[in-house]
Structures are given as structure tokens and as C-alpha cells.
């Protein structure tokens, strides 16, 4: 699978390539044509470790919990020294809290596990590129590495739409790796919105008249 890897300090992406990438980037939300997303993801490629894939699959399981609870399916796990110390899934509807994104919840549980808000040396795996709010929280919590699944062409805060991480004012070095299991992560989101549309169609349908 082709993937994206972007490092804050030493990006291999040249300016001309970055401009080219912008030109080919999908313009709409998760419902975009998968072919467009594939071409976007394949613009950059690198290899991920089997450990990265293992933890992204755990994040996908968290996303599936959100799906089953009729939340937008985004899941996250935080790993330190090969051990999961925090996890979370999107709970915006359940908690009626616009900030209850998977990453925010996972950061909170990781801090509880360590009894320390500083998450130096931790890697955060999330199925969708963090939004600017979560990217800011990641910087504040001192997470060392972000690994995301699908890029978010609507509100990605790690380089796709906005880049909160690269050259951040806090001068925190955070490695960003994107695109791992992107098709599966995006597929879950697409399936969710498809199901929501179907359910909406069912409930909104007028009774048929003879």
C-alpha cells in the first residue's frame, strides 16, 4: 500500500511537489471519490513498520465502537514503549461535547495511566488526520509522533488543509506519518455516512399512497 510520510524537521517533499500535491488534493469531505484519495495518498510513499499497522488496527477497533454508537467513526490509541497507555473514540454526540474527539479522549486516558500530562516519547495513532484542535492538544501534551490513517481534505490539521505541527511556535519536534491503512480508515467513514443517509431516507420517507 502506498502511504504518506511527512517529517517536521526534514521533509522529503520539495516545494514544487507540495504545490503539485495541493493541485491534486481531493476537495471535498470523506465522501470524495476514492480514486481521488488514492491518487492523493500515492503522491508520497514510504514504508510503515508492522508495529505501526498493529496499532492502527487497534485504533480502527476504537473507530468501530464509535460506528456502533452512531458516532462518526474515528478511533485513537496512544502507545509508549510498545504498550497502549491510552485509547479513545469520537464521542461528540454521546457526551454532547464538541471537543470529545478520539484524540482528546485518548490523551486524557494516557495522562491518567502515566499520572502525568507530559506524553513525551509517546506515539498517537488515529484513523483520520487530526483536526487543528487535536493537533494543538497533541503539541501541548508533548506527544512525539503522530501516525494517522486517512488524510482529511476538509479539516486536516497536520498538513493536508492546515499545518499546526510543522514549524510550530512551541518548537516541539513531532514526527507526522500519514496514510497507513488509509483505505480501511476512510472506508469506515464512508460506510458510516452511507448508513446515516439510508437511515435518514427511511425515517424521512413519506408513506406511499395507493
Active site residues: 103
Pick the stretch among 20-28, 99-107, 109-117, 143-151 that binds Zn ion (CB under 5 A).
99-107
Nearer residue to Zn ion within complex by CB, 114 or 133: 133
List Cα–Cα distances, 114 to 79, 105, 120, 122, 194, in angstroms: 11, 14, 11, 11, 39
Asked if residue 79 lies in contact with residue 125, where contact means CB atoms within 8 angstroms, the answer is yes
Number of residues that bind Zn ion (CB under 5 A): 4
- Asked if 122 interacts with Zn ion (CB under 5 A), we say no
Dihedral of CA atoms 29, 51, 77, 12 in degrees, nearest 10, equals -50
Single out the segment in contact with Zn ion by CB under 5 A; choices: 21-29, 88-96, 134-142, 143-151: 134-142
Asked if residue 134 binds Zn ion (CB under 5 A), the reply is: yes
Nearest to Zn ion by Cβ — which residue? 134
Among 56, 128, 131, 176, binds Zn ion (CB under 5 A): 131
CA terminus-to-terminus distance, the chain: 52
How many of the other CB atoms lie within 10 Å of CB of 80?
Answer: 18
107 binds Zn ion (CB under 5 A): no
Q: Is 101 in the site for Zn ion (CB under 5 A)?
A: yes
136's grid cell: 494543538
Amino acid at each position: 500500500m502506498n502511504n504518506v510520510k511527512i517529517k517536521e524537521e526534514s521533509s522529503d517533499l520539495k516545494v514544487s511537489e507540495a504545490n503539485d500535491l495541493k493541485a491534486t488534493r481531493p476537495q471535498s469531505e470523506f465522501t470524495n471519490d476514492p480514486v481521488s484519495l488514492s491518487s492523493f495518498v500515492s503522491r508520497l510513499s514510504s514504508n510503515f513498520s508492522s508495529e505501526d499497522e498493529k496499532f492502527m488496527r487497534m485504533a480502527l477497533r476504537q473507530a468501530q465502537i464509535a460506528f456502533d454508537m452512531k458516532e462518526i467513526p474515528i478511533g485513537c490509541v496512544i502507545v509508549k514503549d510498545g504498550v497502549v497507555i491510552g485509547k479513545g473514540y469520537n464521542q461528540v454526540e454521546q457526551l454532547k461535547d464538541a471537543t470529545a474527539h478520539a484524540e482528546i479522549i485518548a490523551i486524557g486516558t494516557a495522562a491518567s495511566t502515566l499520572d502525568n500530562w507530559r506524553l513525551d516519547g509517546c506515539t498517537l495513532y488515529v484513523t483520520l488526520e487530526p483536526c487543528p484542535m487535536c493537533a494543538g492538544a497533541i503539541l501541548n501534551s508533548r506527544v512525539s509522533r503522530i501516525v494517522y490513517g486517512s488524510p482529511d481534505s476538509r479539516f486536516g490539521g497536520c498538513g493536508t488543509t492546515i499545518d499546526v505541527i510543522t514549524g510550530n511556535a512551541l518548537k516541539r519536534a513531532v514526527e507526522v506519518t500519514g496514510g497507513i491503512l488509509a483505505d480501511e480508515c476512510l472506508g469506515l467513514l464512508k460506510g458510516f455516512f452511507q448508513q446515516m443517509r439510508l437511515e435518514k431516507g427511511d425515517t424521512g420517507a413519506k408513506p406511499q399512497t395507493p
